[in-house]
Chains A and B, each alone.
Chain A
Amino acid sequence: MKGIVFRIGGANAVVMLTGGNFVNTRAKSGWQVGDVVTVSRQTRSRKMWAVLAACFALAISLGFGGYTLYYSQETLVSIDVNPSIELGINRFDRVISVTARNPEAGRIINAAPVKNMKYTDAVAALVSGGGLDPYLASDAFMLFTVQTKNADKQEALLSNLQEAADAAVLPHHQNLNTEYYAVDAQTVSNAHRHGMTAGKYSILMELQQVAPEIDISEYSHCSIDEIKGQIEMHAENGKHGRNSGGAGHGNAHH
């Protein structure tokens, strides 16, 4: 662009470009005040480009890092009645995944989208949303299990879950039995190998202890209430020295 040299100070010159734009530019040899000169359009220096590139890379890595951080699961909460639901929770206590472990659970999570909600709100929404009502008959069992990578948070998680779930469900189902357990990662892994939640897997392990001959996969479709019933029955039978395997298996219900 053309411009008039207004001032020369040291190695720099003040030039008024066409259109009234004043710029500070490096003075070329021979320039004098009043000269009409050509000033190349200002381009960003290599250093500036390097800074911009670094900023861009930082923004990308922060964005990617933030994304990775947000979608990293820290805690797994499972809710079992007969429907079995699993909630993946990140370090910010937000629900990042919702998994239905049986068809009944599928209908419930479709009716109550809880992704990105705080886990206490998500649990409250699921248990009070009406989807679980048909399964919450008098004396039914609802089982909550928590598995977390952050051991320091475990106690608080269980306590918050209990508070949220009890507040949401007990006013409508006074006789409902709720239980809260913490499990380890190995239990979760074993449960998933059997296609069930850690809560249901734990309770079936309990059943297997009192009836070692049973195949737990045959009870995977049963409600917690029914499995509890089987445990009681087999334990009772064991006390009387009778073989309980066939009866337990036969009495399992949906």
Chain B
Amino acid sequence: MLNDLQSRILDAQNNRGEANRLVTEYLPLIKRQVSAAKSDAADYDDMLSIGMLAFLDAIYKYDPKRGAFIPYATLVIKNRLIDEYRKNSRAAGRVIPLFPDDSAEKTVRSADETVSIRAYQADQERQMLAEEIDQLNNDLERHGISFQELTRICPKRARSRKQCTDLAQAVVGDEKLRADFIRNSRLPQTALAERFKLSPKTIEKHRKYIVTIIVMMLGDYPAIRTFLPKEVDA
């Protein structure tokens, strides 16, 4: 007999929108795991993105026969963070302690298992992301935006990117603006300029980037969205 959460997980395995809602809902759990690991403030956002990706991975691979979802997801996140820290430590040429108590890791896998599972997980994760990226590419093409172009038009300052994300959030969160955007593929620049007390020129300057964020928020891109500013919870 499946409980409510298990039913939602199984639904999310074929429904990216539901998967995304679960990530948003369980963000505090993911944050707790990231905070429990030794990390400095500089890579906290990176690790949170990795943790969210691992949570998504746990959703897609979950089998109710394994038991309750939350302990399973917690273990997946922990192991993924450990892998990341190891990778980073190797890159930095240093060895750092991982979790204060990493006995859990020792008991879960043998070394051989770890290597093969890690490779398999990485491949699964890459496929999941590659599918989303392909879909996103098609969606953005309809708005005349290419990935290459995004490197040029993307705001260089984090504050500007956050502002663009807030503007995108405003469009997605407003039923009328959202419907208008979906119907006409048009950014309501005047309405946004008035609401955020910004110059229409500023919005025009970042129009394509804002459209990209809106497309990411409206579409089924739970994995890609783990790399957007974390306040975003569309």
Binding site for B on A (CB under 8 A): 1-4, 6-7, 9, 14, 16-24, 32-36, 38
Contacts and interface: CB of A to CB of B under 8 A. Distances in A.
B46 A2 contact: yes
Which 6 A/B pairs are nearest by Cβ-Cβ distance?
A34-B130, A34-B129, A2-B46, A34-B126, A22-B150, A24-B151
A7 B150 CA distance: 11
5 contacts: A1-B43, A14-B151, A16-B224, A18-B46, A35-B129
A20 B209 CA distance: 10
B135 to A, nearest CB: 12
A4 B227 CA distance: 8
Nearest to A16: B227
By size class, the interface of chain B is: 35 or more
Contacts of A35: 126, 129
B40 to A, nearest CB: 13
Interface string B13-51: 000000000000000000000000000000101101110
B185 interface: no
Given A16-B227, A20-B161, A36 B50 contact: yes
Nearest to A6: B147
B229 A20 contact: yes
Give the secondary structure class of B's interface: helix
A238 B109 CA distance: 125
Interface string B151-190: 1001010100100110000000000000000000000000
A21 B164 CA distance: 11
Tell which of B129, B151, B224 has the most Cβ of chain A within 10 Å: B151
Contact of B130 (A16, A18, A24, A32): A32
Tell which of B87, B91, B133 has the most Cβ of chain A within 10 Å: B133
A34 B161 contact: no
B91 A38 contact: yes
A227 B154 CA distance: 80
Contacts of B150: 14, 16, 22
A3 B53 CA distance: 12
B7 interface: no
B46 A1 contact: yes
A33 B151 contact: no
Given A1-B46, A4-B133, A4-B224, A22 B147 contact: yes
B156 to A, nearest CB: 8
B228 A20 contact: yes
A21 B154 contact: yes
Contacts of B43: 1-2
Given A19-B158, A38-B87, A38-B88, A2 B151 contact: no
Contacts of B127: 34
Contacts of A1: 43, 46
A30 to B, nearest CB: 11
A38 B85 CA distance: 12
A1 B129 CA distance: 18
A32 B129 CA distance: 11
Contacts of B161: 19-21
A16 B125 CA distance: 16
Contacts of A19: 45, 158, 161, 227-229
A2 B165 CA distance: 19
B82 interface: no
Given A2-B46, A4-B133, A38-B88, A17 B227 contact: yes
Contact of B147 (A3, A14, A17): A14
Nearest to A7: B147
Given A1-B46, A19-B161, A36-B50, A7 B129 contact: no
Contacts of A9: 148
A24 B154 CA distance: 11
Nearest to A41: B42
A7 B227 contact: no
